[in-house]
Structure 1
């Protein structure tokens, strides 16, 4: 994941939070996008995000 991709992801999350999305809705969205697994852990592709979050 590039720095640009990471910034875009963070901006998307911030925008969703501003729109009044609940924590549960945000988690479901990240799971459906393949970023988190059902337990809330990063998927293999996004493991590097553990170092910045």
Structure 2
């Protein structure tokens, strides 16, 4: 469908990331950073990449 490889995220990591999202820890990340990523750290990396591209 997308041409992007899938990611395996263990349940424990998924629950931790979801809890952090609900607690507001990641509210500063743009919504688009969460699209098609694995764990929450990948979303943070994606947001940083998007910010650098926007500044260029």
TM category, shorter: 0.3 to 0.5
**Structure with more of its chain in helix, by fraction:** 1
Give the TM-score, by structure 2 length: 0.36
Give the TM-score, by structure 1 length: 0.38
